[in-house]
A and B are shown apart, each in its own frame.
Chain A
């Protein structure tokens, strides 16, 4: 049986060779973090990004930072059904975790940004998130605040007007690329050779996950790593009820609005109906109506509630939903755009319980500590 440390050591060696000295070593079960050539990691840049990520001044009310919806103590989610921005305004989608987002091939539930640099610039100027009219107030702060000015000079060799949103976004993205977590009981069992890392129920649950449960079709596990996402978009049937029968009108309205210059980012977060169009809003591809990105399952036991609309409160509800073939109740209709890969699974009570147990084995050591109270009902901290 291989020793765990041996594996981690090997991962570090690989990571360092590929990513250079600034990259974090990949934890057990994960590949090296992909770092864009034009935005190498440096300790100073990461520190700057961390500060930007937590700065509430980058919102119209001075009360909302990135960290409002991506709280470290909740695995960088917010525990809410859908996120709350300025003045308690609600968006249409559940805040995905930032942890391991560095591995995502596209960002946002509908993949409308290709990288963290692009993603991080959007919430500032979304009317229901941080509410700025444009990015100018942010630039004003980072150019004039002495601590920021000194940091941007050190990190990018730039000052005053030379500092743009590009540098701001690069720093935030660099910080986010440090938020990686593997080394869960599953990783130690599957990749580390520790047969006792998972409980018997979790081991049975893994078997359900890859076989009868068909979860692995989208939440991938590979020979040397497991991202638990295929980076694709699927219509699994969640939330579509809302727009059933309205697809035609909505698709037309959306395209017309987009041609007229409407902003996709704003539209999907301010209109509940449009939000349910999913990936279609980005690609205008009819085959992607109601399709959303497969999220990672790492730390999933700590990131309730679930699905793009936060409509499922517990992992048990999620398992039941899939077991019914992408329906809350077996009597619910199936939407016409639902992926053919979603089908009733006929799992027994015990298989469902084992599957939930397995999902609980995907929590990394640094996120094991539970926050008191059920996450789904936690109120956001008052400002």
Chain B
């Protein structure tokens, strides 16, 4: 039963709860040990725009508008985020027109942007055009005491990739489908895992790690490739480290999870939302426990269930601030006492957003 809104709630809703979208960021508590080498910082994190070419100079307007709005909003963050991370799937069918058009919109960002490869960017020409524009699909960098790793986690078996399809376009279309019996599971693959192993040899276990991938580096739902086939092997490489966070796109919804020492956070899409998948029973899965359901997206509101986020990184852990158009923004933050991420505002049963039952 929804309580009627009283004035105090109303005013509060217009302030404190929305601090995630507010400026300046001094509202966000940044607390880290005085003697720590780490410094708190923020970065913006935009993902899954699925820019779709129609014909000539025409693109699906709604996906364009989602990305344009996210860029405009990210440009308003104060203080400025240190950099911008893009979580993959600029394009819908990997076309040059789509990648170009998406990058043109993203060029409006104030600050340095880095990119993760998504399957929609990859399976037409196996990432050739994307790489020509953006460089490597797996790399690492250090920033203010944190070691960042970017993986291409949307690869699959060579046979499927190179020897099964009559055309590149057909391969792209197959990988773009959900619940596709002819699909193939995502993986990081042997070569990249070997690269990662060597990469991590150089890093102290005390250094906070943040890993970016497109697919979740955990097994959630195979039918939609909310899945990485070699997730356990990747997780094993990350196990020695004290503070590890994986940030992924692909799922178009808010998810958070803790597996051992690793915190997982997903990114919203700027294009459209996916519903929560049911657990997949054909294989062991680590379906995150669904504690705070999102509203069912309102079909009359074109941005409902989409969004973008900025990440506040301090004490080596992540607070993910989700900016949700015309909805109550959410902050999913690592809770040191509990040892896993929590939805700071809505985790408690009586605070949750009641799902919409009627339009």
Contact = CB atoms under 8 A, between A and B. Distances in A.
A338 B325 CA distance: 12
B14 interface: yes
Contacts, number: 93
Contacts of A283: 13-15, 18, 21
Contacts of A285: 18, 21-22, 323, 329
B69 A287 contact: yes
A291 B75 CA distance: 18
Contacts of A207: none
A233 B10 CA distance: 16
B69 A336 contact: yes
A232 B301 contact: yes
A114 B7 contact: yes
Interface residues of B, number: 37
Interface in B1-28: 5, 7, 10, 13-15, 18-19, 21-24
B266 to A, nearest CB: 19
A306 B329 CA distance: 31
Given A114-B5, A339-B302, A247 B23 contact: no
Contacts of B292: none
Interface in A226-257: 230, 232-233, 247-248, 251-252, 255-256
Given A283-B18, A288-B326, A336-B69, A255 B24 contact: yes
B172 interface: no
A337 interface: yes
Contacts of B77: 286
B18 A284 contact: yes
Nearest to A338: B65
A347 B329 CA distance: 37
A251 B76 CA distance: 8
A339 B61 CA distance: 11
Interface string B319-336: 000011110010000000
Given A286-B73, A343-B61, A252 B301 contact: no
Contacts of B15: 283-284
Residue of B15, B75, B325 contacting most chain A CB atoms (<10 Å): B325
B21 A341 contact: no
A40 interface: no
Interface of B: 5, 7, 10, 13-15, 18-19, 21-24, 61-62, 64-66, 68-69, 71-73, 75-78, 108, 300-303, 307, 323-326, 329
- Rank and list the top 7 A-B pairs by shortest CB-CB distance, nearest first: A340-B65, A336-B72, A284-B22, A285-B21, A287-B325, A286-B73, A114-B10
Given A252-B23, A252-B78, 12 more contacts: A118-B7, A220-B300, A232-B326, A233-B326, A248-B78, A255-B22, A284-B14, A287-B323, A288-B325, A340-B61, A340-B64, A340-B66
Interface of A: 112, 114, 118, 217-218, 220, 230, 232-233, 247-248, 251-252, 255-256, 282-289, 291, 336-341, 343
